[in-house]
Amino acid sequence: EEQLLESGGGLVKPGGSLRLSCEASGFSFSNYGMSWARQAPGKGLEWVSSITSSGATTYYADSVKGRVTTSRDNSKNTLYLEIISLRAEDTAVYYCAKPLYDFWSGYSGSPFNLWGQGTMITVSS
Amino acid sequence: DIVLTQSPDSLAVSLGERATINCKSSQSVFYSSNNKNYLAWYQQKPGQPPKLLIYWASTRESGVPDRFSGSGSGTDFTLTISSLQAEDVAVYYCQQYYSTSLTFGGGTKVEIK
């Protein structure tokens, strides 16, 4: 069974930093680009970042660019999201997401067919 | 970035009746090279992550009931629930994957009238 398990969330003071992890199982992790999305309390979904299957290329939303680094360790089947200079508006549930199509499909884009349960970041003094 | 505008923000439908949600894109998400619209629909229930319902604008994900259907092309898309069931109460989001800068619509909350 395909699964994604996020961890690393918590309460952090403004200006602080956190590193989220997403451990994947049940599929060939190294064949898939992966993404992070977030959802502020009572709000809609917001894409945060994506990374290619090799980890060579990353993409970031303008709202987090310069403060977020996405990386992966294919030997550990794990995706990471490091956020620095945290602000109140970063308070959200952070989800990792797997696309329906892998690198070899040839499609330039893919919807997400697997999401983790999410990990909450609360930024507050 | 491609902006997706969903309407309505919320709707209340009687059990067994049709629910229709619209999603308008600020630019076309149709790739002429493969004749596909890079548009998906998700369902999210409280406390749960989103669930993929529809992709390529009209392809139903495996296991999704056939009362859910998607239509449209280019910039205008629709998600239809043909006969609303109690378990369909949720927030529905459209998403474009045409651009590497992915975007979601603002969501539509579906309730029982």
Q: What is the pLDDT of residue B5?
A: 98
pLDDT at residue A41 above 80?
Answer: yes
Q: Tell me the backbone φ, ψ of residue B56, rounded to 5 degrees.
A: 50, 35
pLDDT at residue A104 above 80?
Answer: no
Label residues A87-123 b or e (16+ Cβ within 10 Å = b). eeebbbbbbbbbbbbbeeeebebbbbbbbbebbebeb
Q: Assign A19 a pLDDT band (cuts: 50, 70, 90).
A: very high
pLDDT at residue A103 above 90?
Answer: no
Best of B3, B97, B103, B104 to disrupt the A interface (most A CBs within 10 Å) is B97
Q: What is the pLDDT of residue A84?
A: 97
Among residues A99, A91, A70, A107, the alpha carbon closest in space to that of A4 is found at A99
Best of A1, A34, A45, A101 to disrupt the B interface (most B CBs within 10 Å) is A45
Tens digit of each residue's pLDDT (9 = 90 or more) over B76-98: 999 999 999 999 999 999 999 99
Gyration radius from chain B CA atoms? 13
pLDDT at residue A106 above 90?
Answer: no
**Average pLDDT of B34-52?**
97
- The mean of the pLDDT values for chain B is 97
Are the beta carbons of A115 and B50 separated by less than 8 Å? Answer: yes
Q: What residue of B is the nearest CA neighbor of A98?
A: B52
Q: Assign A79 a pLDDT band (cuts: 50, 70, 90).
A: very high
Are the beta carbons of A100 and B105 separated by less than 8 Å? Answer: no
Q: What size, in residues, is chain B?
A: 113
Task: Write the CB contacts of B23 (distance below 8 Å, at least 6 apart in sequence).
Answer: B4, B5, B6, B39, B41, B72, B76, B77, B78, B79, B94, B105
Q: What is the pLDDT of residue A107?
A: 82
Q: Assign B99 a pLDDT band (cuts: 50, 70, 90).
A: very high
How far apart (Å, rounded) are the C-alpha atoms in residues B58 and B53?
9
Q: Assign A63 a pLDDT band (cuts: 50, 70, 90).
A: very high
Between A103 and B81, residue with greater pLDDT: B81
Whether chain A has a CB inside 8 Å of the CB on B55: the answer is: yes
* DSSP-derived secondary structure for A18-33: EEEEEEEESS-GGGS-
Among residues A95, A93, A120, A105, the alpha carbon closest in space to that of A33 is found at A105
Tens digit of each residue's pLDDT (9 = 90 or more) over B5-22: 999 999 999 999 999 999
pLDDT at residue A66 above 80?
Answer: yes
Q: Assign A108 a pLDDT band (cuts: 50, 70, 90).
A: confident
Block residue for tokens 């006969």: B83
Are the beta carbons of B49 and A115 separated by less than 8 Å? Answer: yes
Q: Name residue B95's beta-bridge partners.
A: B40, B104
Give yes or no for a contact between B78 and B21, defined as CB atoms under 8 angstroms apart.
yes
